[in-house]
Structure 1
Amino acid sequence: MSSPFDPLRAQLLGAAEALAGGPATLPEILTGMVDDVEHALREPLEIFPVCHHSPASALAMVRRLREKQPKVIYLELCEDLAPLLTELRNCRLPVALQAFAAELEGFPAESAPLSVIAPITESSAEYQAISYALETPGVELVLVDRSTDHVFQWQPGARPEHAGGAPEDDLHGDAVGVEIGDLRPRFAELEEHLLHHGRVRHWSEWWDQYVEQPLAHADHDTYRQVMVLIGSLFRRLAPHDSARWESDEDRERYMWTRIRGHLAATGADPADCLYVCGAFHAASRLPEVGSAPGTPSFEISPRTGTTWLYGLIPSSHSAIEAQFGLAPGSVSIAAATWQKQLSRTRLKPFELAGQKGGRNSKKRALPPPVAAKPTADELTGYLSGPPALDGLDEEELRGWCVDIVRLARRNGYLASTADAIAVFETSVLLAGMRGRVRPTPYDFADAAVTCIEKDVVPGRRDVRRLCEILLGGDRIGQVGYDALPPLARDVFDRLAPLGLNLEQRTIQRALLDLTARPELAACSQLLWMLRYLLPDHAVRPIMGSRRLGERHFQESWDLDLGRHQRSIIELGYEGVTLEQVLEQRLRRVAWGPAATAAVALKAVEDSLLFLASPRLTDELGARAVELLAAERTVDEAPVVLRRVRRLLGHYRSTASGLPAWCGRFVTEGYAHYCTLLPTAFVDDQTGVRQVGAMLGFLFSMESLALSLGCDRTQLELAVRQSHPETPAKIALLWAAHHQLGSLPLTGLRTRVDDLLGNPLVVPTVPQYVSGFVQALEPVPRLAPFVVEILSKAFGRLPDPVLLPWLPTLITTLRDQAAELVPVLTREAGRTFPATLDALDAWIPPWRARRAPESPSAVASPGAGPAAAFLAEHPTAGEAVAALLGCPGQWPAPAPAEPSSPATAAAGLLAAFPESATAVEALIGRD
């Protein structure tokens, strides 16, 4: 039986024979492409091949829908996204359909959360099909692509290869993109060949030049055959042994199985149906592809137990480009091309009633459908004829040149009329060098960069970015109020008293005077919760803070909720209210696999700040006690100490007092750190900061722990059993002995003096000093002694030891003990003189205390009221001597004087004049 494509097939075989030196598979590829086109056209159910976000595909779709007026449209889109399509009426395009899952069942837990998005733009064929189906009575729209659950089931790993291509600040984040018509060569050498011979830099420019522009005015048969031919070429040259190829074939089997199931269930006539899919899938020759009743079916695996949540999120041209690897500005250029072609052809597109940002024109009745024409060969004429070249549109190009110069001047460039003329001529020159009569937007952008952008970019935007703005800009969509989830609507309703339009995509300043308008306290509480849950730039406090024990009467906020709609919408997937989401997150943090006692204490503090839920706070506190008891390291001891101190201070200032979990945390921490203290002192992996924090917890919580039943002996034994070897930890241990009373300050001073006087130990003195600085955490009353040690170290250490140590001391204080620096600074201010003049006569207080008194300065022991008192009461003198710790050690009397208790007391007074003065004051004798 003859075929209309036989002449084309014969021509291609002749071309293959002429290229005898080519690959042996060339005839098979060339004729196979024609066979694929003929196979797709023979299918009773019309296949409409498209390319994602292609104006040519959208124009062809509008024409075909008006001609055929199908009763059923099968669309290549995740079948479980169908309920979202009606909500597109409440949005401003571009937006994206999203499926989201935070709690997984049947997928690896580390891959959570999972997200799938399908962006929709006005200039896309799928939006035209959706609008036609939803606005035309009696038309059914059926989504036939694999479900969101199967998208991840069929991926080779927990995450697909293209899942993480988008930047983090992109509107789509790291969601998996689902598109109709992923039409791009998967054979790298082929794409490189096309770009080289097409004289273009990237694939988007090649597609616009050689596919979009020629097909913009093509009839339906030509468009359909050319798109299937391109899909067949890319399909035959793609690697067949990759996981992506297997996934694509499974998708095709899945979609056709759903189509046959729907036809059998509804009895629809395939002649009244239209199947919209990517051109790559339109050229499929699998046995399971086709609408015939006897076609083999594909067994679809069941979904996992994962619960998927669905919604709409705002999208943008740049987000779509980043998601699918398109050239920057290509989607904006496509949108501009779409509008231009609509104006030229006077074609009326389909749109949803009430669409935000749409034309909102009156709905017109569709003309009678056009009868189908016999299949004819349109490829031969299209491939053999010369391309239809558009002439130079001087008015359009001149407008671009004038506008780019104006925009460049606004952004700091020294551009002039001469630059506009240069851009015009360079655009024409570049187009001619690349084989084009009419400059494309890409030629114009290259010319503008060449002529305007010199050596330095004066502002935030370069010239290429200005060209993107000029040619269409980065249009950003918006989800309407009615399409938002309940949580997002609740947020906007509760912030209504602020009197701001929170849907605007600009930063707005909110001023809250809580004294004059106490009803704004609820808004303040909500804003602080949003601050906790949303990215930093969405809600930012300018004046005011939220800490335990603080209360502000005036607050100032910068709100940018319009540009962070996606974040608010995704909060709606986690709960109905913001309080519910916050409670779930706090529980997830406290009971997560990475939870520690410090993390749980942070959750306790956050619950006090943002949620008035004593039950939740008690549960989180009990969880902190459990985590502390289970920990075997003390790496987070500084954080634990800081947070528990803050919480104890807060509870002590409230009328309710300490809750039960706080007492258990203190007693558990006291026993826990006492047990781990000897090991931490000798463990090289445990730093000085951590050991100091342990001692700080034990000493600062000691009185509370003892009142709750702890035993101080446990702490004393832990300190005695500690035998550190590093100098810094030895200094910490000395400070601990001093705090326990077993090492007086004079003993500490003696040991430090011995260190400074020993030449063999001098190089390690800086480490001892660092340990004493860290000792201020557990023993803050050592601040004067630490200042004394630092002064002695700076004065006595040799320069080869002192100078290398100073940077280390500074960085250590900054990184590990920043809160201790003000303590040392205040103590140094009290110790050292305030002026330079007083510095010469200044004597360090530690030297003044230890300097012996001159004998001439001691009063005569035989005179004065104290001597007379001792002479009258010798027994009292002996009692005072015993009280002072000197019994039986009276100084020997002079030979000429008789020995008596009074004489012994006089000698005692000579040795201890300060004690005599104190006794005189005690008994009231002057």
Structure 2
Amino acid sequence: MSDETSPFGALRGQLLDAAETFANSPAGVSGILSEMVDDVDRALREELEIFPVCHHSPASALAMVRRLREKQPKVIYLELCEDLQPLLTELRNCRLPVAVQAFATDLDGFPKDWAPLSVVAPITEASAEYQAIAYALDTPGVELVLVDRSTDHVYQWAPEQRPAAKGEEAGLHGDAVGVELGDLRPRFAELEEHLLRHGKVRHWSEWWDQYVEQPLAGADYDTYRQVMVMIGSLFRRLRPEDDDRTAVDEERERYMWTRMREHQAATGADPADCLYVCGAFHAASRVEQFGVRSTAPYEISPRTGTTWLYGLIPSSHSAIEAQFGLAPGSVSIAAATWSKALTRGGLKPFRLAGQKGAPQRPAKLPVPAPAGEVADRLSGFLSRPPALDALDEAELLGWCVDIVRLARRNGYLASTADAIAVYETSILLAGLRNRARPTPYDFQDAAVTCIEKDTVPGRRDVRHLCEILLGGDRVGEVGYDAMPPLARDVLDRLAPLGLDLERRTIQRALIDLHAHPELAPCSDLLWKLRYLLPADAARPIMGERRLGERSIQESWDLAIGKYQRAIIELGYEGVTVEQVLEQRLRRAVRAPDATAAVALAAVEDALLFLGSRRVADELGARAVELLAAERTVDDAPEVLRRIRGLLAYYRTVEPELPAWCGAFVTTGYAHYCTLLPTAFVDDDTGVRQVAAMLGFLCTMESLALALGCERAQLELAVRQSHPESPAKVALMWAARHQLGLLSLAELRARCDELLANPLVVPAFPHYLIGFVHAMEPVPALSGFVVEVISKAFGRLPDPVLLPWLPKLIVALRDGAGELMPALVKEAGRTFPGSLTAVDAWTPPWSSAKPVPTSAAAQPMAGPATDLLAGHPAACDAVAELLGCAGEWRPRTAAPPGVQEVTALLTTHHHTATAVATLLT
């Protein structure tokens, strides 16, 4: 179209003259400005009326309300993921802001490490899309069609790496990818910096409010459309050529225009009765599929096999700001601007019937006005200064009074003089920033300057108080009817507690299962929610649940309403909490990084929360598979602790052990026997892991032998072990003692040699660490460990003892903290209980006589010897059971092993004498 026939010919001439006068390179600037005018002309002449918007913009929402009441379209095409359409009817059961969400954990066609996938589209009342949705859903004969790419295509068109949410902390939206309708922000960093610097503002939200929102709030519809398309064209023309989002934006535009043409071809809708609501960035599209009369083909790719689940989750102003990179408080200021504009213009917004604060029936719409010719409104708008409004002055006075009142409530020493100072400073700041009237951002800066002095007396600073004054962080709520079945089931099952679970505050629940046994199902559900939800959603204050134990009284801090989103997302995984818990346990043991310890923990959780023997046996069988496949022993302590607890539980409540328990013990016995020699010499394997392996082999030995294992496996593994580190050497000595390969006397003699060797004394704390860890596989050594530590403290001089004493304490604390209670308990039994008894106390090990080493040594005569000699048949039977072969000799010759027996009887001669007396 030539400049003579175009309504924007005059505007084009003015822009070209300005480029010639002010630009350094008028040819490039004039080309961009001319193209912007072409974009505006093309968008406004399109047969299908395009309504350009900006996300969460009060000016867009106001223009939408006016246009809907004037045009009354029969079909509204909305830029929103097309598969989210069934959710929109549920908005009437919610309190805004909320977000429609698509969620997927079962991926087919995407990398597995992307899971879970989540796409959200937040909706506030002060947004054009909500006004269009409310109008379409509550007006008979109006059809709403979502035409943007599906959520599956959002990730199909994403880069090879999983797209992340905008901002590190996206609040209630978590790490979901946000779908923003009307993303109007420069994609050229230098342009945004230039606009902020010359606009004398701090961030983009403030620039947009000053130069777009406020001027367009009262503009007529034609002016609004032309300005928005021009801004969208400007940002589109000035973005970098290598912007990765360019191709995605153009694909979206082809997708939307194709969907709209398909709908009109299928329904015969008249473009004159339709309205296309899209971002101003897409209104200035240049793709060949633009327009309902375009014949350019475009093939929409099929969706992947990923299963998508849909629902509504609560949102908030702060969550929207965090996810879309807006300045803190900007959405709250937009909501305040929306309310002020409605009051000033006398407009009645559209709200879904049944929603909180909504009318019971739709408002009566006026008769639609005929469409007028396209006229140039940009020239007058761009050259006309904004008009002052008396209502703004009254509003500023109210803000100044209210902020002083709010500051005084929060501990500030504010007065009337401060209110006057805030008022005058706001006007001064607006003047310095070339603004016709103070904005909320000017007011915030003035309040901080005049009220906040040196310190903040309370929890809130003045900037936070200003945000509260201007509306605060409004948090949405999903209504009961809009929740998935699982979330409704949770609220129904917790109803007997008598709490308002939809409140976002923390509530205390007291459960006395003895007085009110009917609350037991509530307690069971709370423990399951404790497992599935974030820690603060259901936090036990009193009471615990362990295998074989249940508390009679419980106290809970519940924040179910605050974590409504997490409960709703559980509904995407199953119909009941139990189903979700079972699925998660199965998924945990089938994960690529699953270990035997993880599987045993899953078995324990299945018994605690599900009480299902079937699920526990399935998970236990998986634990056996994982243990057999492991090539490291890093989780040996955890495996030992959990299998001990499970065996103790089954022996208490079951007539026999499950089959998987026997398989786990036999598999673990063979597995750890195989890895034991390598673990002893491997520097990467700690002493705690080796002790746990020996603990499994020694404490599970009787059960393993009963199930068919051979003790020779363990003896061979110990004989093949040749450790070098002192701690592991001590462990190996303890293992040999447990197997009968090293007597206690020989073990005592070796420790005495270590203490007597000056070259070994600095490393003696490491030997002690090994002996302390040896209490895991050989609990009977606890007395010997106390003996060794006592000898070290008694024999070593202070110059030797004091330097390594800190090392000993640190090593015991870090390496054997869980074994120290048993060691302290044994020391309490060994040492006297009062100071007066210390002087007369003799250590038990000091009364033992040296054991002769010659074969001709005479055994000690006494009641014990007479007992053994008087019952030879019993002695032979016991020796045969223990695998000891030998023959009786005269008392003048000591048989093999008599030295050890004599030492044992000598050390405990009172016990031996008492037993002999009873038997004779």
Fold match by TM threshold 0.5: yes
Matched with 1:77 is 80
Matched with 1:315 is 315
SS in 2 for 1:300: coil
Residue 790, structure 1, aligned to residue 792, structure 2 = no
The separation in 2 between residues aligned to 1:812 and 1:592, in whole angstroms, is 35
Distance 1:841 1:282, change over 3 A: same
Aligned partner of 1:372: which letter?
A
Map 1:110-149 → 2, pairs under 5 A: 110-149=113-152
Matched with 2:220 is 219
Matched with 1:398 is 397
Matched with 2:882 is none
The separation in 1 between residues aligned to 2:445 and 2:791, in whole angstroms, is 69
CA drift at 1:816: 3.9
Distance 1:608 1:816, change over 3 A: farther
8 Å contact kept, 1:53–1:123: yes
SS in 2 for 1:562: coil
| CA RMSD, Structure 1 to Structure 2 (Å) | 2.8
Distance 1:773 1:68, change over 3 A: same
After superposition, give the CA deviation of every residue in 1:534-553 in whole Å (9 maximum; x if it has no partner): 11011111111110011211
Matched with 1:41 is 44
Bigger CA drift: 575-584 or 443-452?
443-452
Aligned partner of 2:450: which letter?
C
After superposition, give the CA deviation of every residue in 1:675-721 in whole Å (9 maximum; x if it has no partner): 11111111111110000000000111111111111111111111111
Matched with 1:256 is 257
SS in 2 for 1:555: strand
Matched with 1:699 is 698
The separation in 2 between residues aligned to 1:437 and 1:41, in whole angstroms, is 30
CA drift at 1:435: 1.8
The separation in 2 between residues aligned to 1:703 and 1:85, in whole angstroms, is 65
Aligned partner of 1:489: which letter?
R
After superposition, give the CA deviation of every residue in 1:805-854 in whole Å (9 maximum; x if it has no partner): 445444444444322111111122223344445445544332243599xx
CA drift at 1:289: 1.0
8 Å contact kept, 1:100–1:113: yes
Map 1:839-850 → 2, pairs under 5 A: 839-850=838-849
CA drift at 1:295: 2.5
SS in 1 for 2:428: helix
8 Å contact kept, 1:865–1:925: no
The separation in 1 between residues aligned to 2:888 and 2:408, in whole angstroms, is 90
The separation in 2 between residues aligned to 1:885 and 1:428, in whole angstroms, is 115
Matched with 1:631 is 630
Bigger CA drift: 296-305 or 452-461?
452-461
The separation in 1 between residues aligned to 2:772 and 2:542, in whole angstroms, is 35
Matched with 2:754 is 755
Matched with 1:440 is 439
Aligned partner of 1:210: which letter?
Y
CA drift at 1:458: 3.5
SS in 2 for 1:479: coil
CA drift at 1:386: 2.1
The separation in 2 between residues aligned to 1:125 and 1:805, in whole angstroms, is 74
Matched with 1:897 is none
Map 1:645-656 → 2, pairs under 5 A: 645-656=644-655
Matched with 1:232 is 233
Residue 333, structure 1, aligned to residue 333, structure 2 = yes
CA drift at 1:403: 2.3
Matched with 1:175 is 176
Distance 1:924 1:111, change over 3 A: closer
8 Å contact kept, 1:46–1:271: yes
Matched with 2:541 is 542
The separation in 2 between residues aligned to 1:824 and 1:107, in whole angstroms, is 55
CA drift at 1:917: 11
Aligned partner of 1:281: which letter?
H
Matched with 2:764 is 765
Runs of at least 5 residues in structure 2 that lack an aligned partner in the other structure: 852-859, 876-885, 895-901
Matched with 2:167 is 165
8 Å contact kept, 1:392–1:439: no
Residue 274, structure 1, aligned to residue 278, structure 2 = no
CA drift at 1:15: 1.6
Map 1:522-561 → 2, pairs under 5 A: 522-561=521-560
Matched with 1:565 is 564
CA drift at 1:492: 0.9
Matched with 1:905 is none
Distance 1:456 1:825, change over 3 A: farther
Aligned partner of 2:321: which letter?
E
8 Å contact kept, 1:317–1:332: yes
Map 1:445-844 → 2, pairs under 5 A: 445-797=444-796, 802=801, 805-844=804-843
8 Å contact kept, 2:19–2:26: no
8 Å contact kept, 1:70–1:274: yes
8 Å contact kept, 1:314–1:477: yes
Matched with 1:108 is 111
Aligned partner of 1:55: which letter?
P
Aligned partner of 1:407: which letter?
L
8 Å contact kept, 1:166–1:172: no
Residue 306, structure 1, aligned to residue 306, structure 2 = yes
Aligned partner of 2:704: which letter?
A
CA drift at 1:916: 11
SS in 2 for 1:331: helix
Map 1:373-388 → 2, pairs under 5 A: 373-388=372-387
The separation in 1 between residues aligned to 2:749 and 2:404, in whole angstroms, is 79
The separation in 1 between residues aligned to 2:547 and 2:44, in whole angstroms, is 72
Residue 154, structure 1, aligned to residue 157, structure 2 = yes
Distance 1:608 1:696, change over 3 A: same
CA drift at 1:759: 1.6
Bigger CA drift: 430-439 or 779-788?
430-439
What is the aligned counterpart of 2:28 among 25, 30, 52?
A: 25
Identity %: 73
Distance 1:474 1:915, change over 3 A: closer
Aligned partner of 2:110: which letter?
F
Matched with 2:899 is none
8 Å contact kept, 1:670–1:705: yes
CA drift at 1:419: 3.2
After superposition, give the CA deviation of every residue in 1:389-413 in whole Å (9 maximum; x if it has no partner): 4458443223222322333333333
The separation in 1 between residues aligned to 2:780 and 2:654, in whole angstroms, is 30
8 Å contact kept, 2:84–2:102: yes
SS in 2 for 1:653: helix
Instruction: Give the TM-score normalised by the residue count of structure 1.
Output: 0.91
After superposition, give the CA deviation of every residue in 1:477-500 in whole Å (9 maximum; x if it has no partner): 001010000111111111111111
Distance 1:73 1:657, change over 3 A: same
8 Å contact kept, 1:78–1:144: yes
Distance 1:886 1:334, change over 3 A: farther
Instruction: Give the TM-score normalised by the residue count of structure 2.
Output: 0.92
The separation in 2 between residues aligned to 1:810 and 1:96, in whole angstroms, is 56
After superposition, give the CA deviation of every residue in 1:186-232 in whole Å (9 maximum; x if it has no partner): 11111111111111100000100110000000000000000000000
The separation in 2 between residues aligned to 1:35 and 1:436, in whole angstroms, is 31
8 Å contact kept, 2:848–2:906: no
8 Å contact kept, 1:509–1:557: yes
CA drift at 1:414: 3.6
Distance 1:499 1:922, change over 3 A: closer
Matched with 1:247 is 248
8 Å contact kept, 1:231–1:280: yes
Runs of at least 5 residues in structure 1 that lack an aligned partner in the other structure: 853-860, 891-907
After superposition, give the CA deviation of every residue in 1:757-806 in whole Å (9 maximum; x if it has no partner): 11222222111111111111111111121122223334455667655644
SS in 2 for 1:670: helix
Bigger CA drift: 385-394 or 402-411?
385-394
Aligned partner of 1:81: which letter?
L
SS in 1 for 2:509: strand
Distance 1:228 1:587, change over 3 A: same
8 Å contact kept, 2:429–2:446: yes
The separation in 1 between residues aligned to 2:818 and 2:871, in whole angstroms, is 50
The separation in 1 between residues aligned to 2:677 and 2:817, in whole angstroms, is 26
Distance 1:888 1:82, change over 3 A: same
SS in 2 for 1:729: helix
Distance 1:711 1:889, change over 3 A: closer
